[in-house]
């Protein structure tokens, strides 16, 4: 199951007691802060959850699998998530995979 932004808004609405509009504004504000921070290439550390980081990938050779044509992939930035030990433990305990 995928958790959508609307699901998060509804969850805040029902669990915290904020209005739908307040819940939507809170989530939208949080996501804007996260986006802006990553655009500035700063890390985001959420204790007990994990860390979002921007990594640089160098240009590299690639291949089109349909045509087998060689091509050059451009350098780019990607967002990487590193899970916290606390969350990793919870996930592994909940699924019985220790």
The tokens of 69 are what?
Answer: 């044509």
DSSP per-residue string spanning 28-56: HHHHHHHHHHHHTT--EEETTTEEEEEEE
The distance between the two most distant Cα atoms of the chain, rounded to a whole number of Å, is: 56
pLDDT tens, position by position, 21-37: 999 999 999 999 999 99
pLDDT tens, position by position, 28-82: 999 999 999 999 999 999 999 999 999 999 999 999 999 989 999 999 999 999 9
**Angstrom distance (rounded) from CA 79 to CA 18:** 31
Chain length of the chain: 98
The structural domains of the chain, with segments of one domain joined by +, span 1-40, 41-98
Query: Could you tell me which CATH class the domain 41-98 is placed in?
Result: few secondary structures
pLDDT of 95 > 80? The answer is: no
pTM: 0.77
Predicted confidence band at 96 (pLDDT cuts at 50, 70, 90)? low
């Amino acid at each position: 199951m995928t958790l959508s932004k609307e699901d998060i808004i509804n969850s805040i609405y029902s669990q915290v007691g904020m209005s739908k509009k307040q819940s939507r504004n809170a989530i939208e504000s949080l996501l804007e802060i996260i986006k802006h921070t990553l655009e500035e290439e700063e890390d985001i550390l959420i204790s007990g959850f994990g860390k979002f980081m921007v990594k640089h990938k160098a240009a590299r050779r690639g291949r089109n699998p349909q045509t087998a044509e060689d091509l050059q992939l451009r350098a780019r930035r990607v967002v990487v998530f590193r899970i916290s030990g606390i969350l990793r433990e919870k996930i592994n305990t909940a699924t019985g995979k220790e």
